[in-house]
Amino acid sequence: MDRLQHPLFARAFARAVGALDRRGAAEHRSRVLAGLHGSVIEIGAGTGSSFPLYPPAVTHVLALEPDDYLRGVAEENAATASVPVTVVDAAAEHIPAGTGSADAVVASLVLCSVRNQAEALAEIRRVLKPGGTLAYYEHVRSNRPLLARAEDLLTPVWGRFMGGCHLNRDTLGAITAAGFIVEGNVRFNFAVGRLNPPLAHILGTATSPGPVPQARTDPA
Ligand SMILES: C[S@@+](CC[C@H](N)C(=O)[O-])C[C@H]1O[C@@H](n2cnc3c(N)ncnc32)[C@H](O)[C@@H]1O
């Protein structure tokens, strides 16, 4: 697997995430997790900020975190989670879980950073049971053309310092293009820090129709 290590970003993010949560992200996380049940996979769990917020109907969370520093913090936080959590070293593009094994996958502020959204979303479809839920909370490309252009220009530099984050991804479009059926989506502006301009965010759930069918290779 690619080594997805961002030591400086990881330490800065771990220090900042508490303030982000107090600004409103914790409430957004709770909204995205409400209603989940059964076996859940969380991709890019970071420090595990969502761990105390899982509802009791969730029986187990497999939390993927490729960054060594953040995974260490997440492992500590798993001990005080509201439900059983196992933290593993893995990326969203290669989820260590069986086909059709999960009731839900949670993506919180991570589809902006995965290297390949289409691969990650196909992998999420693979691990979800048919009818399973992708629960997402993500910042996305602005609908305002000038702002979107500014996000395009800023992203190469921003990503270098912010763990590969893209400011300009149309994540809802990618979720739809990957074959998910969006069930409920809200779009809103949210400033991640006191001095940051508001960014467009989306929050909602989408249903998987089942794994992407594999191309058949007929014997010659
Ligand atoms: C902005 S942080 C968000 C962390 C957490 N989900 C949250 O909401 O607080 C982005 C996270 O995505 C992780 N990440 C980056 N690329 C990834 C990938 N390909 N697969 C899984 N996680 C990834 C990073 O290590 C980091 O933990």
CA of 53 relative to ligand 1 center, distance in Å: 18
Q: Which amino acid, residue 30?
A: S
Q: What pLDDT, on the 0 to 100 scale, is given for residue 3?
A: 65
CA of 110 relative to ligand 1 center, distance in Å: 5
Q: What pLDDT, on the 0 to 100 scale, is given for residue 4?
A: 84
Q: Which atom from ligand 1 is nearest to the alpha carbon of 20?
A: 9
Chain-centre distance for alpha carbon 107: 2
Q: Which of 17, 28, 32 is nearest to 206 (CA)?
A: 32
Which CATH superfamily includes the segment(s) 7-207?
Answer: Vaccinia Virus protein VP39 (3.40.50.150)
pLDDT < 70 regions, the chain: 1-3, 215-220
The pocket around ligand 1, CB under 6 angstroms, is made up of 4, 13, 17, 43-46, 49, 64-67, 70, 91-93, 108-110, 113-115, 163-164
CA of 138 relative to ligand 1 center, distance in Å: 11
Q: What pLDDT, on the 0 to 100 scale, is given for residue 217?
A: 62
In a 13 Å sphere around the CA of 40, the CA atoms on its Cβ side amount to 30
Q: Give me the residues paired with residue 181 across strands.
A: 207
CA of 164 relative to ligand 1 center, distance in Å: 9
Query: Which element (helix H / strand E) includes 122?
Result: helix 117-127
Pocket test for ligand 1, best of 4, 113, 162, 171 (most atoms within 8 A of CB): 113
Q: What pLDDT, on the 0 to 100 scale, is given for residue 13?
A: 93
Chain-centre distance for alpha carbon 183: 17
CA angle 182, 55, 136 (to 5 degrees): 25
Q: Which of 47, 28, 49, 40 is nearest to 134 (CA)?
A: 40
Which pLDDT tens digit goes with each residue over 67-84?
Answer: 999 999 999 999 999 899
Q: What pLDDT, on the 0 to 100 scale, is given for residue 1?
A: 46
Q: Answer whether 51's CB lies under 8 Å from 77's CB.
A: yes
